[in-house]
Amino acid sequence: MNFVDDIDVRVAAGSGGHGCLSFRREKYIPRGGPDGGDGGDGGSVFFIASDATNTLVDFRISKIYRAENGTQGSGKNMTGKSGADLEIIVPVGTTISDLDTQEEIGDLKKNGDRIKVAQGGEGGLGNARFKSSTNRAPRKITKGQEGESRHLQLELKLIADIGLLGMPNAGKSSLIRKMSSAKPKVADYPFTTLYPNLGVVSVGMLQSFVMADIPGLIQGAAEGSGLGLEFLRHLERTKILLHILDLSPDNVEMEPIHAFNDIDSELKKYSEELYKKPRWLVFNKIDLVAPSDLDLMCEKIIDAIGWQGKVLRVSALSGEGCDIIAKNIMKELDEMASEEISS
């Protein structure tokens, strides 16, 4: 499946049908009055969020979407048929903006969310509408209004509780595979992950949270280097970020202290709001470090980067520490939810 999370489309609502110019003509009634009906209204365009899709790739095939026009009115005061509305399905988490005005129109965060993006034109008035005491045979009608047209940007931001940050090959994909049912590609080379992955992590029988893995960041990501920048938007809705550091002995090029500082800097350049999100430090690949060296190695890194937040240790390969991470996350999410309710 191809993953597309940013695309522009054009939508056009239907135009209203014209009013009808008609006079009643029946046997024995040679001078019947006006009986022209109104035109039908044009259909409107709606976007509807659905859990059934998770990419905007289908919008690459067709980029113009039109609702039906209303039909013209007819004699005997018959109103034209209204055009059918057009309902377009998009993934949950899609934001919709007008490219001409730069206005954000809507943010579809829940399954079933629905928003009108283009209003159908009103049908025109038939000549029967203009009959009066001084004008018994009006020949006036009005045309149907044109439907609204817009040039829109669709941007998908995944809905997840937890976001994973880290350099390429830090073990983010391995961690989400171990902790959830997600099965992203895992290999021993950079940029194995080419698009975001979501995984549902179960904690006990009744509790769970959603974790998002994006392609690894590298130095210069805020200026467009690597793959991670274009996907950082998918972390904007998360509640907690897990900053993954690779402790493997052969990790020379991506030495943990430099790796942390590079991503910390890129995150701040990209978005101050994202930078200020709650972030936990997670040391990965602890199975590759001698137990006698682990404490000292972690302390050295923590001191060097001046870290004062929460610290966890894990082996995404063996699963050691995964349960502790999951329980800590669930507890924190529950506390956040309680604070939101009380406030």
The predicted model scores a pTM of 0.70
Residues 304, 264: contact at Cβ < 8 Å? no
The first and second tokens of residue 217, run together, are: 């960041």
Q: What is the pLDDT of residues 250-274, one digit of tens each?
A: 764 458 898 899 889 888 888 899 8
Superfamily of domain 6-156: GTP1/OBG domain (2.70.210.12)
Domain ranges in the chain are 6-156, 162-342
Out of 22-36, 144-158, 289-303, pick the least confident. 22-36
Q: Give me the percent of the chain exceeding a pLDDT of 90.
A: 57
- The pLDDT assigned to 217 comes to 59
pLDDT at res. 30: 67
């082996």: which residue's tokens?
Answer: 315
Q: Which amino acid is it at 27?
A: K
* 66-87 mean pLDDT: 97
Rounded to an integer, the average pLDDT of 56-76 is 91
Most confidently modeled range among 92-106, 159-173, 203-217, 250-264: 92-106
Band of pLDDT at residue 4, cut at 50, 70 and 90: low
**Average pLDDT of the chain to the nearest whole number:** 86
Q: 151 vs 166, which has greater pLDDT?
A: 151
Model confidence band, residue 226 (pLDDT cutoffs 50, 70, 90): very low
Residues 169 and 254: beta-carbon distance below 8 Å:
yes
Mean pLDDT of 106-118: 95
| Model confidence at 61: pLDDT above 70 | yes
* CATH code assigned to 162-342: 3.40.50.300
- Chain segment 122-140, per-residue pLDDT in tens: 999 999 999 998 998 999 9
Q: Measured between alpha carbons, how far is 327 from 323 in angstroms, rounded to an integer?
A: 6
Residue 49 has a pLDDT of 95
Residue 227: the pLDDT is 43
Mean pLDDT confidence for 291-299: 93
pLDDT score of 191 more than 50: no
Does the fold of domain 162-342 match that of domain 6-156?
Answer: no
Strand blocks (E) in the chain = 6-12, 45-50, 64-66, 86-91, 94-98, 103-108, 114-118, 149-156, 162-165, 197-203, 207-213, 240-246, 279-284, 311-313
